[in-house]
């Protein structure tokens, strides 16, 4: 196994996550203190830019660039949002951060909010995460008592309020403009961009939205410097990543590995390999919206690279063995996307529903020639005409399955 580097998980299992004293005893809130006493927002931003950190919410957008856009906006009212919606099936990394080291996340939120000049930060939490909501409420209270939050933080000129906003658990509300709509009390559906949230975001004010895992890297970067962070992981996307490995592996769990680690290493060495008596068929990388990777491509490096064929997405990896029924998989993907399509645009609202109907017929062995033609049309429509990326997401795995396993998919149908 490659040299173990722990940034996000370094305290997992070592401290009591409910005790702020435990976090402080292992160097917690030192980065916030350093930011307040020795740095300016501009200097801290420089460190984040040097680190090469990019977003762990799926798109891999450079974090420094996003923060800079908001920092340079002149508005007196700005917002910072921690995205903890995490509705991607098979993804539980952000939830694990809250379970195991919530103060690290909170410290990152406070620093990022102060860097951009936010008057208020929100933690947008998935409504199904009741246990994590209670943890977050507790740790926000503890941080307030220590004056890491609130008025004149640690005797400085900085003030910050944090609100925990509980979403309804809709997949689309993880998309940042839908999330903003949801906090504003509007329907949880995406908005047209531009303008981007960094200019016109929450309540029409400049807003930075970051994924919880992205934010959890910030205390490390501020404490040790961006240059050091940039030496970890891959050149294209430095740092580590939380990978959630599920399915037919011996040890399904969340693992922290340097970006650039090979998919085969993650499956064989981190997750203990394929379960005894089972044979690897393919892996789905990036959650339910992820692409299917065959055995011949297992040597691929996992990193954020806009040119890569396979996007990392949330970092969820589902390992499928040869006993799995492909028809059941198709139906489960489409049941999800049909349910989660927000309904704003016709191609996605209708397309996901039609593909779900066809997936049911495939499972029942009732596929017709017309369905085979319709599949191609619907996949094209989802890929090319929908309002937001969810449409494309819905077509990704289904399209890969049709391209790679045509024989298996159509053979069993009458």
Ligand X SMILES: Cc1cc2nc3c(=O)[nH]c(=O)nc-3n(C[C@H](O)[C@H](O)[C@H](O)COP(=O)(O)O)c2cc1C
With respect to ligand X, which residue has the nearer C-beta, 174 or 238? 174
Using DSSP, state whether 335 is helix, strand or coil: helix
**Calpha distance 11→98 (Å, rounded):** 12
Give the burial class of 317: count Cβ atoms within 10 A of its Cβ; 0-12 exposed, 13-18 middle, 19 or more buried. Answer: buried
CB-wise, 170 or 358, nearer to ligand X? 170
Query: Would you tell me which residues interact with ligand X (CB under 6 A)?
Result: 55-59, 61, 83, 85-88, 171-172, 174-176, 209-211, 214, 388-390
- Which of ligand SF4, ligand X, none is residue 56 near (CB under 5 to 8 Å by kind)? ligand X
**Alpha-carbon radius of gyration of the chain:** 22
Q: What does 342 interact with, of ligand SF4, ligand X, none (CB < 5 to 8 A by kind)? A: ligand SF4
Binding mask 146-185 for ligand SF4 (x = CB under 6 A): --------------------------x-------------
Contact by Cβ (8 Å): 81, 182 = no
Distance (Å, rounded) from C-alpha 35 to C-alpha 41?
8
User: Phi-psi category of 13—alpha, beta or left, where left has phi over 0 and alpha has psi -120 to 50?
Assistant: left
Residue 34 near ligand SF4 by CB under 6 A: no
Contact status: 341 vs ligand SF4 (CB under 6 A): yes
Which of 95/338 has CB closer to ligand SF4? 338
87 interacts with ligand SF4 by CB under 6 A: no
Q: Which of residues 378-397 bind ligand SF4 (CB under 6 A)?
A: 386-388, 390-391
Q: Name the minimum Å distance from CB 339 to ligand SF4.
A: 11
Nearer to ligand SF4, 15 or 172 (CB): 172
Q: Which does 31 bind (CB under 5 to 8 A by kind): ligand SF4, ligand X, none?
A: none
The CB-of-171 to ligand X minimum distance in angstroms stands at 6
Comparison of 69 and 404: residue with beta carbon closer to ligand X: 69
- 345 in contact with ligand SF4 (CB under 6 A): yes
Q: Tell me: cis bond preceding 195? Omega within 30 of 0 counts.
A: yes
Q: Among 348, 362, 379, 409, indicate the residue that binds ligand SF4 (CB under 6 A).
A: 348
Q: Is 186 in the site for ligand SF4 (CB under 6 A)?
A: no
Helix (H, G, I), strand (E, B) or coil at 403: helix
Shortest distance in whole angstroms from residue 295 CB to ligand SF4 = 32
Rank residues 59 and 402 by Cβ distance to ligand X and give the closer one.
Answer: 59
Smaller CB separation from ligand SF4, 65 or 346: 346
Q: What one-character-per-residue DSSP string does 28-55 give? A: TTHHHHHHHHH--HHHHHHHHHHHT-B-
Residue with tokens 């895992």: 213
Q: What is d(CA 237, CA 287) in angstroms, rounded to the nearest whole number? A: 19
The DSSP element (H or E) to which 321 belongs, if any, is strand 316-321
Distance in Å, CB of 163 to ligand X, minimum? 17
Give which of ligand SF4, ligand X, none residue 214 binds (C-beta under 5 to 8 Å, depending on kind).
ligand X
d(CA 20, CA 142): 7
Residue 324 contact among ligand X, ligand SF4, none, beta carbon within 5 to 8 Å by kind? none
CA dihedral (392, 394, 395, 396) in degrees, to 10, reads 80
Q: What is the DSSP string of 51-114?
A: HT-B-SSSS--BHHHHHHHHHT---S--EEEEEE---STT--HHHHHHHH-HHHHHHHHHHHHH
Q: C-beta of 346: minimal distance to ligand SF4 in Å?
A: 8
Q: How far apart (Å, rounded) are the C-alpha atoms in residues 358 and 352?
A: 10
Q: Read off the tokens for 338.
A: 């049909």
Nearer residue to ligand X within complex by CB, 367 or 395: 395
**Please, what is the minimum distance in Å from the beta carbon of residue 190 to ligand X?**
7
Q: Which does 349 bind (CB under 5 to 8 A by kind): ligand X, ligand SF4, none?
A: ligand SF4
Cis amide leading into 387 (omega within 30) = no
Distance in Å, CB of 277 to ligand X, minimum: 35
Binding flag, residue 343, ligand SF4 (CB under 6 A): yes
Q: Which residues bind ligand SF4 (CB under 6 A)?
A: 172, 189-190, 341-345, 348-349, 386-388, 390-391
């Amino acid at each position: 196994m490659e040299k173990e580097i722990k940034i996000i998980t370094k305290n997992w299992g070592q401290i009591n996550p409910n005790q702020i004293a435990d976090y402080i005893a292992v160097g917690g809130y030192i980065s916030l203190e350093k930011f307040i006493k020795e740095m300016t927002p501009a200097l801290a931003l420089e460190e984040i830019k040097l680190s090469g950190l990019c977003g762990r919410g799926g798109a891999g957008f450079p974090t420094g660039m996003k923060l800079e856009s908001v920092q340079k906006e002149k508005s007196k009212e700005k917002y910072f949002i921690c995205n903890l919606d995490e509705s991607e099936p098979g993804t539980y990394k952000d939830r694990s951060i809250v379970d195991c080291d919530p103060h690290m996340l909170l410290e990152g939120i406070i620093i990022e909010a102060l860097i951009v000049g936010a008057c208020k930060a929100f933690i947008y939490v998935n409504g199904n995460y009741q246990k994590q909501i209670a943890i977050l409420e507790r740790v926000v209270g503890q941080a307030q008592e220590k004056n890491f939050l609130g008025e004149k933080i640690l005797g400085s000129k900085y003030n910050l309020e944090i609100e925990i906003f509980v979403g309804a658990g809709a997949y689309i509300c993880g998309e940042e403009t839908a999330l903003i709509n949801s906090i504003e009390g509007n329907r949880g559906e995406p908005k047209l961009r531009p303008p981007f949230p960094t200019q016109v975001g929450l309540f029409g004010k400049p807003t930075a939205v970051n994924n919880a895992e992205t934010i959890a890297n910030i205390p490390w970067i501020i404490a040790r410097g961006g240059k050091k962070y940039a030496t970890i992981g891959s050149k294209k996307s430095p740092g580590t990543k939380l990978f959630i490995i599920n399915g037919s592996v011996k040890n399904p769990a969340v693992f922290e590995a340097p970006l650039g680690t090979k998919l085969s290493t993650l499956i064989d060495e981190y997750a203990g390999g394929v379960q005894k008596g089972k044979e690897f068929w393919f892996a789905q990388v990036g959650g339910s919206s992820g692409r299917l990777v065959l055995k011949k491509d297992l040597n691929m490096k996992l990193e954020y690279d806009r040119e890569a064929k396979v996007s990392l997405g949330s970092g969820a990896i589902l390992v499928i063995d040869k006993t799995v029924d492909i028809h059941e998989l198709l139906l489960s993907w489409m049941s999800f996307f049909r349910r989660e399509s927000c309904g704003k645009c016709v191609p996605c609202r209708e397309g996901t529903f039609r593909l779900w109907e066809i997936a049911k017929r495939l499972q029942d062995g009732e596929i017709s020639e017309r369905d085979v033609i319709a599949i191609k049309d619907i996949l094209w429509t989802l890929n090319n005409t929908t309002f937001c990326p969810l449409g494309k997401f819905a077509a990704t795995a289904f399209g890969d399955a049709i391209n790679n396993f045509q024989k298996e998919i159509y053979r069993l149908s009458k």
